[in-house]
Each structure stands twice: as structure tokens, then as C-alpha cells.
């Protein structure tokens, strides 16, 4: 399969299942790639993140990273046009990762990416945003088939600037490098290297088929002992 076809297939699965295939159970060499130490590497988002449009389902894409900061009179070289050019130059689809490196009292009230930015990013092939701050204009964005994972929403913002594009960033417990694959849905987001996408797809397909079988057997269990046996057998494989 071509890379775009692999990503399209990965979008059939939920993000929690993707994390199982990537690194959640490194002791299970048959059911987990073990790409990261699950507790010491920041490879998925934490409980601060909120899915704005859960009805859209999963989104998968290549990370384009943007670091925002406070206005600096000594640096103003980058603008949103540079962001659009970075999205245009990336393999598609793109998920934009926005790190808001702002003081907390400002960051919590900075509705960074609204309707105009979303319209422009989507035109260049972006399908979603993960940000460690709020956004706004949800009424405009709702019909765009564009996903947002945010810490919340707010109606306004003040001045800010782009500090860097396509550099390593950290967003709500997830460290992201440009070009990594991002899988996102109502569970949150996780990352993995682009060259592992085919392996992730193969393994998550297997895991989800097995999971469906386990759940069906649990629904049909004749006794609590049978149910416990089915559950513990499943747990033992992880």
C-alpha cells in the first residue's frame, strides 16, 4: 500500500487501540511494537486535552509543528504564511501541532486558531489541530470536517507571534517531532514514526480482531468463572 492508503486504513481504528499497538504493553512482543517505554517517553496526550468534535471520528496525518510565543520586538521573521507553506510542503494529510509557549494566565485565554486560520490550513491539506491551549470560532469550524484537540475554548486573544516552525514541541504530555505520524480522536492523540505506519496498521488490525472476539465471548459467558477465565486469558496476553 502507498503511505496515504496506510494512513486512510489507520483512520478506521480508535486512538486507544493504536496506542496498544505502538507501546502500551511492551512485554507482549506479539501484540505490541514496543516503540517507547510507555511511562518514561511522552508519546501520547494527557487528560488536559479535549476533543471538540468527537462525532468526526479519528484523524491521522503527518505532524507539522508550530511554536507560538509572546511578541518580541527583536524577532518577527515568521508569519502565518510560513505555516501554510510548511503545510503545503509536507506529505498529506497534515495534523498541525501548536505549542503555545505563553504565560499560563495568557495561554488560558488565547483563542489561537479560529475560523480563518482553519479555513486556510484545510485548503493546504491539514485535517486537524492538536494544541495545548484554547481556540475559538467553533460555530464557523463545526461544518468544516476538521478536528480539534484543545484544552478548551475561549472567545478572544491578544497579540502573539510564531517563534518557530517544524521544531520539536511538547503539547499536553506528548513530545512531537516534525514528520511523525499523529493519530487523534476523542481519546486524545498519540504519535509514532512514519516508517512504522505499516507495522502499526498490521498489528492494530490483528489486535482489534482479537479484542472483538474476546468481548463476544465475555458477552456469551455462562458463569462468572467462565467470564473471569476469558478476561484473565486476555489480560495475560498483554
- pLDDT value of residue 19: 97
Q: Decide if pLDDT at 236 tops 50.
A: no
Q: What percent of the chain shows pLDDT beyond 70? A: 98
- pLDDT value of residue 31: 85
pLDDT higher at 27 or 184: 184
- pLDDT value of residue 234: 65
Q: Decide if pLDDT at 100 tops 70.
A: yes
Which position has the grid cell 491578544? 158
What lies within 8 Å, CB to CB, of 195 at 6+ separation is none
Average pLDDT over residues 119-130: 98
Q: What is the pTM of this model?
A: 0.94
pLDDT higher at 204 or 211: 204
Give residue-wise pLDDT tens across range 136-147: 999 999 999 999
Average pLDDT over residues 69-87: 93
Q: Decide if pLDDT at 187 tops 70.
A: yes
CATH class of 3-200: alpha beta
93 cis-preceded (ω within 30 degrees of 0): yes
d(CA 234, CA 238): 7
Say if residues 157 and 112 touch (Cβ distance below 8 Å).
Answer: yes
Q: Please give the mean pLDDT across all residues of the chain.
A: 94
- pLDDT value of residue 235: 53
| Long-range CB contacts for residues 106-109, cutoff 8 Å, separation at least 24 | 106/70, 106/158, 107/132, 107/133, 108/133, 108/134, 108/151, 108/152, 108/154, 109/134, 109/154, 109/156, 109/157
- pLDDT value of residue 238: 46
d(CA 139, CA 128): 16
Average pLDDT over residues 186-195: 98
DSSP 8-class letter at 194: G
Amino acid at each position: 500500500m502507498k503511505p496515504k492508503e496506510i494512513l486512510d486504513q489507520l483512520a478506521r481504528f480508535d486512538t486507544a487501540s493504536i496506542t496498544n499497538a505502538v507501546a502500551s504493553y511492551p512485554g507482549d512482543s506479539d501484540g505490541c511494537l514496543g516503540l517507547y517505554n510507555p511511562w518514561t517517553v511522552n508519546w501520547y496526550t494527557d487528560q488536559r486535552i479535549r476533543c471538540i468534535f468527537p462525532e468526526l471520528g479519528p484523524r491521522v496525518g503527518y505532524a507539522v509543528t508550530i511554536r507560538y510565543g509572546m511578541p518580541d520586538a527583536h524577532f518577527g521573521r515568521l508569519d502565518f504564511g510560513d505555516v501554510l507553506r510548511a503545510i503545503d510542503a509536507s506529505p498529506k494529510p497534515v495534523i498541525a501541532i501548536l505549542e503555545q509557549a505563553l504565560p499560563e494566565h495568557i495561554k488560558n485565554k488565547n483563542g489561537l486558531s479560529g475560523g480563518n486560520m482553519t479555513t486556510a490550513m484545510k485548503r493546504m491539506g491539514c485535517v486537524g489541530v492538536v494544541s495545548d491551549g484554547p481556540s475559538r470560532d467553533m460555530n464557523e469550524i463545526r461544518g468544516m470536517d476538521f478536528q480539534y484537540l484543545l484544552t478548551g475554548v475561549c472567545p478572544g486573544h491578544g497579540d502573539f507571534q510564531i517563534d518557530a516552525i517544524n521544531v520539536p514541541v511538547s503539547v499536553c504530555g506528548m513530545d512531537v517531532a516534525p514528520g511523525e505520524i499523529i493519530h487523534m480522536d476523542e481519546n486524545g492523540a498519540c504519535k509514532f514514526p512514519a516508517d512504522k505506519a505499516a507495522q502499526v496498521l498490521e498489528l492494530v488490525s490483528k489486535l482489534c480482531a482479537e479484542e472483538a472476539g474476546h468481548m463476544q465471548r465475555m458477552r456469551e459467558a455462562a458463569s462468572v468463572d467462565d467470564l473471569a477465565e476469558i478476561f484473565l486469558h486476555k489480560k495475560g496476553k498483554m
